[in-house]
Amino acid sequence: MYNLIGFTLILGILYTVRNILGVSIDFYFDEVALLIVLGGTLATTVISFPPLYLKKLFFAPFAMLKSGRPNTIESIDVLVRASSQEGASKASVRPLLNNKKIDPFLKEGIELLLLGLERQEFKSILTERIYRARQREEEIVTLFRRLAKYPPAFGLVGTVLGLVNLMRSVGAGADAAQIGLNMALALTATLYGLGFSNFVLAPISEHFLQKAEDQKVFRELLLEGLLMIHDQKSALTVQEMLNSYLDPKQRIDILGIHYNESA
């Protein structure tokens, strides 16, 4: 939801700038420039990407609005409590499979843990899944980064077309007022292209890049906890190791040992 705040802030800044300049919103509207920038970007997207990627591009903004950070503290709590049970590698983690709120990667790890795989095999499989998940999540980042280069280019195309029209009007004997108006409309296309690329597409790309990085660190935390359960480490070891992934002010004391960073 904080993404909406950011986009609203952008609109607020643009609105404030327009008021400072003292011009009407109609002054910045040109249907030809809008058609060239948005239509050209859409057409290039359809040409460049297969249908599967087009679907990802369409649904990505909606996913961005409802996505949140991983619930790290809750996952640490689950892992520590599982490790505190006798026979932590098997019996204590089996009930977690019935928890519908559990993270999907943690659920996969528990399922593999119950298969009784050797430690190295267990680690290799989950490490590969972390890598492949990161690869899939970065696909959408790459798509939006590639897409962001098109609107400025089409904005330039619109500006050139506008300038051609301007030169024709000059040749036809247009007065200074008409020339100035045509020049402003020609530059509107560049404004649209730069705005769409830098205010919409680029921020979406950066959002998904940060989300992919957060998910990678989160899954590494889960892998570390699952490996310690596999090795039947003590709950204290699990808690303190996983606390390393948290900011010192966020570290938790599930076992009631009065954890204190300054101690």
pLDDT category at 263 given cuts 50, 70, 90 is very low
The CA R_g of the chain, rounded to the nearest whole Å, is 27
Longest CA–CA separation in the chain, Å:
92
| Segment 42-77, tens digit of pLDDT | 999 889 888 888 888 888 877 776 766 778 888 888
Q: How far apart are CA 73 and CA 251, in angstroms?
A: 8
Residue 185 has pLDDT above 60, yes or no: yes
Domain ranges for the chain: 31-243
Banded pLDDT at 151 (limits 50, 70, 90): very high
**Alpha helical stretches, state H, the chain:** 2-21, 31-34, 40-48, 51-66, 72-83, 104-114, 119-147, 150-171, 176-196, 202-230, 235-243
Query: Integer distance in angstroms from the first to the last C-alpha of the chain?
Result: 38
Average pLDDT value over all residues in the chain: 84
> Which residues 6+ apart lie within 8 Å of 137 measured at CB?
208, 211, 212, 215
Q: What pLDDT, on the 0 to 100 scale, is given for residue 262?
A: 46
| pLDDT interval class at 28 (50, 70, 90) | confident
Give CA–CA dist 192/200, Å, rounded.
11
Closest CA to 32 of 231, 259, 184, 224: 184
User: Binning pLDDT at 50, 70 and 90, where does residue 110 land?
Assistant: confident
Compute the C-alpha angle 121/125/129, nearest 5°. 170
pLDDT band at residue 178 under the 50/70/90 scheme: confident
Q: Rank 1-5, 17-21, 96-100, 123-127 by mean pLDDT and report only the highest.
A: 123-127
Would you give the distance in Å from CA 102 to the centre of its chain? 21
Tell me the two tokens of residue 254: 């599930």
Using 50, 70 and 90 to split pLDDT, how confident is the model at 234?
confident
For residue 37, give the nearest of 201, 207, 164 by alpha carbon.
201
Does position 259 have pLDDT exceeding 70, yes or no? Answer: no
pLDDT of the residue at 81: 82
pLDDT at position 218 is 93
In whole angstroms, what is the distance from residue 109 CA to residue 81 CA? 16
Cα separation, 87 vs 75, whole angstroms: 19
Q: Which residue has the tokens 């359809």?
A: 46
